[in-house]
Amino acid sequence: MKIVVIGNGMVGFKFCEKLIAKAQPQQFDIVVFGEEIRPAYDRVHLSEFFSGKTADDLLMSPFNWYTDNNITLHLSDPVTNIDRAAKTVTSHKGITENYDVLVIATGSSAFVPPIPGVEKDGVFIYRTIEDLELMQAYAKKAKKGAVIGGGLLGLEAAKAMLDLGITDTTVIEFAPRLMPRQIDEAASNILTNKLETLGLKIATSKNTSQILGDTAITGMQFSDDTNIEVDMLVISAGIKPRDEVAKLCGLEVGLRGGIVVNEQLQTSDASIYAIGECALYNGMIYGLVAPGYDMANVVATNLTAPPPLQREDLEPSINNDFIVSSSSIVPPLGDQGASFIGFDMSTKLKLIGIDVASFGDPFIQNKDTRTIVFEDTMKGIYKRINITGDGKYLLGGILIGDAEAYNMLLQTSKNKIVLPPNAEDVILGSRGGESEAGAGVLSLPDDAIVCSCESVTKAGICTAVSESGCETIDAIKKCTKAGTGCGGCVPMVKDLMLHTMKAQGKYVRNVICEHFDYSRQELLDLVKMDQLKTYDEVLDTFGKGDGCEICKPLVASVLASLWNDMILAKGNATAQDSNDRFLANIQKGGSYSVVPRIPGGEITPEKLIVIGSVAKKYNLYTKITGGQRIDLFGAHLSDLPKIWEELIAAGFESGHAYGKSLRTVKSCVGSTWCRFGLHDSVSFAIQIEERYRGLRSPHKLKGGVSGCIRECAEAQSKDFGIIATEKGWNLYVCGNGGSKPQHALLLASDLDSATLIKYLDRMLMFYIKTADPLTRTATWLNKMEGGINYLRNVVVNDSLGIGEILEQEMQALVDSYKCEWKEAIENPEIRKRFSHFVNAPEEKDPTMKFEPMREQKKVTDWK
Amino acid sequence: MEESTKNTSPNSSKPSITDDKYTWFFACDSADVPDNGGVCVKYNEDQIALFHFTRRGEWYATQNECPHRKQMALSRGMIGSQNDEPKVACPFHKKTFSLITGECLSGDECAITTYPVSVVNGKVYIGMPANNN
C-alpha cells in the first residue's frame, strides 16, 4: 500500500515513526513531502535555538533515518495539488505521486492580525527556524522589542527576544490578562509580576491599530491613543491551520479554517486523513503537540491493524472508477479501530523559567463546585484547584511558580481518584498528617496515561518493569518510549519503577552495573580492606564479566581516592574515563582543551605571557573559565605532551579540569586590596586549592573564598564556600550552581583557619567515602538522612568517632600529591599514547577542521 | 606469542596480503596497543579503531568514526562487555557499540563497521573487504 504524507513537521514525522514501528516490513511504500528545507524538527523547543542549540540538535531524526526506513523524503517541496479522482498529488517542483492513502499533516502558520503596517521591516513571525535566523540577524541592531500575543506562543517569543539580548521588550495582549485560555486572573497577575522582574513589560487590554515607520518599524500605535517606540516586533498571536491544498481539492473545511475530520481522522474523502494542527475535530483545532501525536497514533494504528469488519457507508463518495479493488485499497474502518475522541488540553510548561500549568477545567466555578486557592505573592506561587461540592473529586486547576504536583493532580482529576479528607493537602502537601506524599502514584488505575506524549499507561510502565525486566529509566524509555517526548513524566515513571520493584520484593539499591553487585560505598570499603590497586584486581575479586564504561571510571576513581597512585600507571590507564586517560577534556571534533592550575585565580604577568605564547605557538583558542583560570582549546592529541612540557617548565601544573576532582577555589581579591575585605581571601584560597589539588572524588569539587559578606567569590554556590567574618571564617558546604542551583548551608561559623581545614578534611573525606557515583555534594546532602544536622554532627561533633581517621586519610592523600602531567611527560611509555595514529604518530587527525571566529579559531560544527 | 584470534589469517607477516575475502594490512606491533584499550590505525584515507581486549584474549577492529556525531574517536573509548557482548563506548556521549556485530547497543539505529583482526608473531593485521580497495 502506498502512503503519501503531506507535511514533515513534528506530527507528520511522528506518524511515520509510529507507522514504521507498527507495520510489517515492506507493508507500506511511504513518500513524504515537506515544505521546509530541513527534516522535521522540534518546534516545541524552538527558543532553545537562541540559547545555544543548533538546528541539527533540534531535528527529530537525522536525514538518514528516512532513507534507513525506506521513506522517500522530498524537502523544500510543498504539495500544491491533490487530484482525488486520480489519487495523485503534485508538488511545487512538479513531482507527481499516486497514493492509496493520503495523510495531510500540513500544520499551521502564524496568525497575523490585519494591522496596517505588518509588512514593514523589523516585523517577524515566530514559527520556523528560518524565522529565527531572520530574527537573529535583525536583533543585532534592535534595542526596543515588542511581542504581539500574551499566550503560550507569545511568551515563548518573548523569551526568544530576551535570549537575543533585547531586554527592553513589551508583551502586548489584547485580552485583559496573559494566557487567557489557560489561567485565571490571579494566576495571570502572579505570572505578570514574575515576568516583570525579568525585565519584560506587560501591556494587557491593548489593541494595536497601526505599525509606525517608513520602511522599517519605529513604533506601535494602539487604539487607546497610546503608542510605544519599537524597532523589532514579533507577532505570535495564534495559529491558522494550513488547509489551502485541502480546500483546493474540495475537502470539507471549517468556517474559520481547518480540515474537517471524523474520529478516525478521516476527511470528507475516506482515503485522505488529516492530523495535527491542520485538522478540525469536533469544531476544534488542537494547537499542542500531544494531541497531534495522538492523532498520528490513531491513523497509524488503523492503517496497520485493520479490524475485520468494514462499514460500507464510509467508502469514498467520489467517483469509484479509478479504484481497482476497494477492499484492498480503502483503509478499512470499523468499530474496533482506534479513534480520536478529543484531547485533554492540560499543559505544563516552563515559560522563561517559570512553571505554568493548567489541567482539567481550570475555571469552573458554580454552586456545585468549590475552589481552593493558595497564593504566595512573595515567592510568586499560585495554586488553584476546583473540586466537587462534596470535596471528593478534583475537576481541574492552575499552578504557577511551582508545578511539581502537576502530574499527580492531572491523574487525580482524569481518573476520578477520591481526594484526601483535607483536599488542600494535594497542593500544600500533608502538614503533619499521616498520609505519605508520593504514595499517590500507586492509587492510579492501570489505564491512567502517565506519558501523554507517547500514550503510555501506568500498566504499560509497570509491566515493562515486572515482565520485561526494565529496571532503569533508560531501559523503560527504550522499551515503552515513555518519557522520550517532553520528559515531564520521568519523575512519575521513576516512582512507578521503584514501587513496582519494591512490590516484587526486590531490594532496591544502587548497584554499580552488571559487573559489580555493590554500591560505590560498599566497593570502596572492600577495595580498601583488600588493599587492591588495579582495576583488573578489583574486577577479579569483587566483580564479574569484563567491565564497562560505568564501572571502569568508578573503580579508577575509588582507587585514586584510596591510594593516589598515578592514574595512567600500567593496569589502570584504560580503566580511566576517556578524559582522564588523556589528562585533558575532549572537545567537539576530537581536539582537547588544556587548563593549567591557577590557584585562587592569582597569576603573575610572566605566567600570563607563557600561557599566551604557548597558545600562539600551538594555535589554541583561549577563554577565561568560570573558575578564574584560562582554558586553551583546540589542541591536537599529539601536541598535549609538548604543550605541557612548556607549561610545566614555566611552573604550571595540571588543573585537573578533566577529572572528577578538585577544580578551583575561586576567590575575591580580599583584604590585601579591597577596602571592605576582612581577611586575605586570596591567600586562603591558594592554601586550600593547593591542599586538595588532584583529589579524586565521586564528582567534581569546586570551592570559593570570599573576604567579606558581599560574597564576590560566590562561595555559597560551591561544594564548599568560605566567607570571612569579623572573628574568623564561616564554612558553608554542599552548594551547587549548574542546572539545579542550591545555596551551600552553614556548617560552622567563626572558625580559625586550622579548624576550618580540619572540618573540611573530614567533610570531603566523608563525601568521598559515602557518596554515590557522579553525585555532587549538594545531591549527596539532599539524600542524606538528617541532612545538614547529621553532617554537622559527624564533622563538627564527631558523632561517629571517625573524625581523626578522616583527617589522617586526607593528610595521606595531600602528602602523596604529584602533578600527573609532569609524570606523564617524563614517562616514555605513557607519552607514547598521545598520538592519533599508532602507525603514523607524527600525523594529526586530518578530519579535524577549524574555522576563524573573532580573530581566533573555532571547531567546525558537528553534523 | 599471540595466536590468530579471528577469522582467516594471512600465512606470513608481509605488509599486505590478499586472500579471497580480505586484504590484510599490517597495522602495528601488538605491544603498541594498550591492554584492554584501543589505538587508531591509518589505512590509506581510512581510520580504523583497533582494540586489544586482553581480558578476553581477543582483538577487534571497527571504524574509528562514531556514527552519532561523526567524530573520529572510538579508538579512545572504553571497552567492556554487556551480557558478555564485547563493546566500546564513544568518549563523546557514551553511545556503545558491539565489537562483534557493530550494532549500537544504546538503542539507536546507527551501527559501525567491524573488521577481522589477525595476530601473527606479535604483528597485528586488519582485514579489509577485498573489493573495498
Could you report the per-residue pLDDT of A460-501, keeping only the tens digit for each? Answer: 999 998 888 888 887 888 888 887 766 667 777 888 888 888
Residues of chain A contacting residue B53, judged by C-beta atoms under 8 Å apart: 546
How far is residue B79 from each of residues A125, A528, A575, B27, B61, measured CA to CA in Å? 49, 25, 9, 20, 12
Q: Where are the alpha helices (DSSP H) in A308-432?
A: 326-329, 406-414, 425-428
The mean per-residue pLDDT over the stretch A732-754 comes to 91
Has residue A315 got a pLDDT over 50?
A: no
pLDDT of A600 > 50? The answer is yes
Contact A837 B41 (CB under 8 A): yes
Q: pLDDT tens digits, residue range A381-397?
A: 899 999 988 888 888 99
Listing from the earlier edge strand, what are the strands of the sheet with B37-43?
A: B37-43, B46-53, B58-63, B114-115
pLDDT digit string, tens, across residues A825-838: 999 989 999 999 99
Contacts of A188 (CB under 8 A, 6+ apart): A177, A178, A179, A180
What are the domain boundaries of chain A? Answer: 2-109+241-329, 123-237, 442-508, 520-576, 582-659+833-863, 660-816
B41/A838 CB distance under 8 A:
yes
pLDDT reported for residue A433: 39
Amino acid present at A739: S
Among A250, A243, A253, CA closest to A278 = A243
Pick among A578, A581, A842 to test the B interface (most B CBs inside 10 A): A578
Range A610-632 average pLDDT? 95
**Average pLDDT of the segment spanning A66-71:** 91
State yes or no: pLDDT of B107 exceeds 90: no
With respect to CATH, is domain A123-237 assigned 3.50.50.60?
yes
Is some CB atom of chain A closer than 8 A to the CB atom of B55? yes
In angstroms, the separation between the Cα of residue A862 and the nearest Cα of chain B is: 6
- Say whether pLDDT at A589 is over 80: yes
Best mutation target, A484, A839, A848, A861, to test chain B (most B CBs within 10 A): A839
Say whether A578 and B72 touch across the interface (CB within 8 A). no
Q: Which residues does chain B have within 8 Å of residue A551's beta carbon, measured at their own beta carbons?
A: 80
Instruction: Residue A582: name the closest of A817, A822, A838, A824 by CA.
Output: A824
**CATH code reported for the domain at A442-508:** 1.10.10.1100
Measured in residues, chain A has a length of 863
User: Does the beta carbon of B84 lie under 8 angstroms from any beta carbon of chain A?
Assistant: yes
What percentage of residues in chain A have a pLDDT greater than 90?
A: 55
Does position A331 have pLDDT exceeding 70, yes or no? no
| Cross-chain Cβ contact A574/B34 below 8 Å | yes
A578 vs B contacts (CB less than 8 Å): 76-78, 91
Please report the pLDDT score of residue A507 as a whole number: 62
Distance from CA of B110 to the nearest CA of A (A): 9
Q: pLDDT, tens digit, for every residue of A442-455?
A: 677 787 778 877 77
* For B108, nearest residue in chain A (alpha carbons): A478
Dihedral angle of Cα A320, A321, A326, A329, to the nearest 10 degrees? -100
Higher pLDDT, residue A417 or A200 = A200
Whether pLDDT at A628 is above 50? yes
Strand bridging mode A96-98 / A101-104: unpaired
Chain B nearest C-alpha distance from A481 (Å): 11
Task: Please work out, in degrees rounded to the nearest 5, the angle formed at the alpha carbon of residue A841 by the alpha carbons of A839 and A844.
Answer: 110
- Is-contact A665 A703, C-beta < 8 A? yes
Cell readout for A741 is 542551583
Of A579, A836, A863, the CB nearest to B69: A863
Greatest CA separation for chain B: 41
Domain A2-109+241-329 of CATH type 3.10.20.30 = no
| End-to-end Cα distance, chain B | 30
Residues in A lying within 8 Å of B, measured between beta carbons: 65, 68, 474, 478, 514-515, 536, 545-549, 551-553, 570-571, 573-575, 577-579, 581-582, 586, 588-590, 833, 836-840, 843, 845, 847-848, 862-863
Q: Is the pLDDT of residue A509 over 90?
A: no
- Chain A residue with minimum CA distance to B86: A546
If pLDDT is split at 50, 70 and 90, which confidence band does A693 have? very high
Q: Which of A296-305, A397-406, A417-426, A570-579 has the lowest mean pLDDT?
A: A417-426
Task: Report the SS3 class of residue A255.
Answer: coil
Closest CA to A414 of A383, A429, A431, A393: A393
Stretch 56-75 of chain B: residues touching chain A, C-beta under 8 Å:
56, 65, 69-73
* Contact call for A838 and B80, based on CB within 8 A: no
Residue A374: exposure state from Cβ atoms within 10 A (0-12, 13-18, ≥19): middle
The neighbouring-strand residues paired with A107 are none
Distance CA A43, CA A129 (A): 8
Q: Do B96 and A837 touch (CB under 8 A)?
A: no
Does residue A47 have a pLDDT over 80?
A: no
Query: Which among B56, B65, B71 is the nearest to A546, CB-wise?
Result: B56
Residue A379 has pLDDT above 90, yes or no: no
Candidate from A65, A552, A862 with C-beta closest to B78: A552
* Nearest residue to A591 (alpha-carbon basis) of A630, A636, A623: A636
Residue A232 pairs in a beta bridge with: A145
Among A71, A546, A577, A658, the strongest candidate for a mutation testing the B interface, having the largest count of B CBs within 10 A, is A546
Asked if B39 has any chain A CB less than 8 Å from its own CB, the reply is: yes
Give the full edge-to-edge strand order of the sheet including A88-91: A79-83, A88-91, A96-98
Q: Is A595 helix (H, G, I), strand (E, B) or coil?
A: coil
Phi, psi torsion values for B43, nearest 5 degrees:
-135, 105
pLDDT over 60 at A816, yes or no: yes
| Single-letter amino acid, residue A189 | N
| pLDDT at residue A721 is higher than 80 | yes
Out of A548, A579, A863, whose CB is closest to B80?
A: A548
Nearest chain B residue to A582 by CA distance is: B76
- Using CA atoms, how far residue A600 sits from A623, A688, A690, in Å, is 17, 9, 9
- Bridge-based pairing of strands B71-72 and B78-82 is unpaired
pLDDT tens for A108-130 read 998 888 899 999 999 999 888 88
Q: How close, in Å, is residue B106 to chain A by CA atoms?
A: 9
**What is the per-residue pLDDT for A534?**
93
Task: Identify the architecture of domain A660-816 in CATH.
Answer: 2-Layer Sandwich (3.30)
Alpha-carbon distance A89 to A757, whole Å? 76
Q: Do domains A582-659+833-863 and A660-816 have the same CATH topology?
A: no
Query: What dihedral angle (degrees, nearest 10) is formed by the CA atoms of B8, B12, B15, B20?
Result: -40
> Residues A764-784: what's their mean pLDDT?
90
Contact status of B93 with chain A (Cβ, < 8 Å) = no
CA distance B128 to A670: 64
Q: Nearest Cβ partner of B81 from A548, A571, A863?
A: A548
- The share of chain A scoring above pLDDT 70, in percent, equals 93
The pLDDT-based confidence of A194 (bands split at 50, 70, 90) is confident
Q: What is the ipTM of this complex?
A: 0.86
Using alpha carbons, list the distances in angstroms from residue A270 to A7, A86, A274, A325, A335: 19, 14, 11, 15, 16
Superfamily of domain B17-132: Rieske [2Fe-2S] iron-sulphur domain (2.102.10.10)
pLDDT at position A312 is 41
How far is A608 from A650, CA to CA, in rounded Å?
10
The yes/no answer on whether domain A582-659+833-863 falls in CATH 3.90.480.10 is yes
Distance (Å, whole) CA A678 – CA A692 = 24
